[in-house]
Amino acid sequence: MPEKVEVSTIVTGGQVSGGPPLGPQLGPLGVNISAVVAEINKVTANFQGSKVPVKIIVDTETKKFEIQVGLPPTSALLFKAAGIEKGSSNGIKQPAGNVTFKDIIEIAKTKYAATKRGSLKAIVLQVLGTCVSVGITVDSKNPKDVILMIKEGKLNVPEGGEA
């Protein structure tokens, strides 16, 4: 009976190589490492430069593999949208960057599409909460103010996953 082995790792989207840590993990399984790397780079291209969780499932008998890609953490998507490498250690008191409300909606849609849980509005509020934690303003406003505007109905969020 064929054995399936799972290798889980975090990669930089679109920039995986056959070197460590991936190569040494896959080498003993006898799988074509360059084919695995090419496939991972292909399926993570949309997350170029972001840290992405990846699971490689290898059939040790046939040497066939399957790639499962998770979503980068919300903070990584925010950093990419803001054009920064890391957040502020002082949170929103000392902002590290700024994103648009449109960026928030797009990040929320990405998360919604992957989970299909809750409403888009709830996910937008979660993304805004992450903005508070990592020190990213939204349209140069404190994200707490944007959250309040949404809750008071002064700023509309599309329902569901559609725009």
pLDDT tens for residues 2-31? 688 999 999 988 999 998 888 999 999 999
Residue 163 in domain: no
Domain housing 119: 74-151
Same structural domain for residues 32 and 78? no
Using CB atoms within 10 A of its CB, is residue 16 exposed (0-12), middle (13-18) or buried (19+)? buried
- Of 69, 89, 124, the last residue of a domain is 69
Verify that 40 and 19 share a domain, yes or no: yes
DSSP letters, the chain, are: ---EEEEEEEEETT---SSTTHHHHHGGGT--HHHHHHHHHHHTGGGTTSEEEEEEEEETTT--EEEEE-PPPHHHHHHHHHT-SS--TTGGGS--EEE-HHHHHHHHHHHHHHH--S-HHHHHHHHHHHHHHHTEEETTB-HHHHHHHHHTTSS---STT--
Q: Structure pTM?
A: 0.75
Q: What is the mean pLDDT of the chain?
A: 90
Tell me what pLDDT residue 98 has.
97
Which segment, 69-73, 89-93, 136-140, 159-163, is predicted with the most confidence on average? 136-140
Q: What is the pLDDT of residue 58?
A: 94
Q: Are residues 135 and 106 in the same domain?
A: yes
Q: Is residue 121 part of a domain?
A: yes
Domain harbouring 109, CATH code: 1.10.10.250
